[in-house]
Amino acid sequence: MKNFVSISRRSARELSFSVLFGVYLIASMTWAFKADSTLLAFEFLCRLLLPIVLFIAYRKFVPPGKAQLVLVGYAAVIVYMFGVAVVSEAPTDVIVNTAKFLHPILFFFALVFVLHPANFSVRFLYAIPILGLIGAIQTLTLAALIYSGHAPPLNNVVLIGYKNFEMPSFGVFGYAWGSIALGTPYQVYRAQSFFGEPTRMASFMGVVTLISWGLYRVLRSRWFLVAAVLGLLTGFMCFSMTVDVVAFLTVVFYFVVTRWRKMGYAGPTTVSVLAVIAVLLVVSYLRLATSFYDQDLATTNMALGHADTEVSLRVEFVQDSLRLVRDHPFGIGVIGIEDSRILTQYPGAGSVIAPFEWTTKGGLIGLLLQLVLLGYVMKTIVVRQVREGGLQRYVALAFVLVLLHHCVAGEWMDAMFLFLLAAVLMLDRYNFVGAVVDIPIRRDRHIAIASDSRLEGAGA
């Protein structure tokens, strides 16, 4: 009876967590709520209150040792970034902006205190394939309507929550900012849903594919297989050159990690050669994609090729970022170009590329703190998880994919990145897939936790 009650309570916690987490992902990663003032207020409350709700609603446990080290690292990041803000060109504005920029870290803090088998089973991951299925059905249905000549009305909406930006919208079917020549014989619909651009959705669908495939391999439930297949197809329909490159590099990472020990003494040399080959293949792909785009005005060329500005703009961002870090090695804080005298001299500095985002905001020290954190997690956890297999392999690969994606488009501070970081830390310590048993932890209370040789009791 006690087992049944504890399992029922955990099921309720898992359901509520999936709903809260799903809404938080939508609020944090998409622009679904930015076209209406009421929804924008709801988005703000979701992002602000969810970490607090997690602390109040779920039982808390002392994080594992590795998670504690990462928490200390992020605490150092917070202290340093506010230190930069105090001495910045506009301290009041930069302090406020820094609080907004670093606020997602509270979500990570909450996760490492509540993600424990006493609260959740493996179902704490379910929100990702569920949202992936919804996004896939939404965008693939729209693609079928467009290419069959039955496209729904396309209207502009004003994203009042994002600089009053005008966004072409298909209503419930999502946005179409990244699509090309819609309504012409050469139209290309790029799956986008309510994400700000197709590349962001492609990254999300990459995570959906990996997590869903991992859950299918472990649980053998076919709906995960369906989610993985539709996630892969939708990711392709985004026609994102960035995610193509990131997915390729993630596959290379997987093969290097899983084959490293088999290489023996030839490992370092082999990896060096593979790294050179990977770089050459990426460069060749970028050149081929841009030349293919320019060859002909056809649907296939515009879908599979890409304008050379996608590369040249990022090169300019890198150049401006390098100039800024040379002149301001400690960073200038979190400030927009509209409010900064400094940034007007380096207009592309820090734009979309995570390493340079951090050199711009936090200087070389800010970047170093981030790299130490990421290097520690990669070396001590991710590489081993990928090598060992199981569900943790696919969560770790999803983390690698998002980590790499942010090196081209991102900032290492969004909800999915921080969730996957928490997930790899927790999966390193606990087994969320194990059998449920009843273990007394106090004289008058029992909890249901997963039985596993690696699992420690509550408060571990």
CA torsion angle for 70, 72, 76, 79 (degrees, to 10)?
120
DSSP 188: B
Cβ count within 10 A of residue 240:
28
pLDDT at 161: 83
pLDDT at 302: 75
Contact 368, 356 (CB under 8 A): no
pLDDT at 129: 97
In Å, what is the CA distance from 362 to each residue of 22, 223, 279?
Answer: 31, 43, 29
- Closest by CA position to 411, among listed 29, 135, 129: 29
Give pLDDT tens digits along the chain (460 positions): 444 455 677 788 899 999 999 999 999 999 999 998 999 999 999 999 999 999 898 999 999 999 999 999 999 999 999 999 999 999 999 999 999 999 999 999 999 999 999 899 999 999 999 999 999 999 999 999 999 989 999 999 999 988 888 999 999 999 999 998 888 888 899 999 999 999 999 999 999 999 999 999 999 999 999 999 999 999 999 999 899 999 999 999 999 899 877 777 777 777 778 888 888 888 888 888 888 777 777 777 877 777 877 778 888 889 999 999 999 999 999 998 888 899 989 988 878 889 999 999 999 999 999 999 999 999 999 999 999 999 999 999 999 999 999 998 888 999 999 999 999 999 999 989 863 433 333 333 333 333 333 333 333 3
Task: Fill in the amino acid letter for 197.
Answer: E
pLDDT at 459: 34
Contact 444, 420 (CB under 8 A): no
- Closest by CA position to 25, among listed 178, 173, 193: 193
Q: CA torsion sign, 50 to 52 to 53 to 54?
A: positive
DSSP string, 343-354: GGGSTTTTSS-H
Contact 422, 111 (CB under 8 A): yes
- How many degrees, rounded to 5, is the angle at CA 350 between CA 345 and CA 356? 120
Report field, pTM of the whole predicted structure over 0.95: no
Secondary structure class of 437 (helix, strand, coil):
strand
What contacts 267, CB < 8 A, 6 or more positions away?
260, 261
Secondary structure class of 158 (helix, strand, coil):
strand
pLDDT at 442: 34
Cβ count within 10 A of residue 53:
15
CA torsion angle for 327, 328, 334, 340 (degrees, to 10)?
-50
Give Dmax over CA atoms of the chain in angstroms: 75
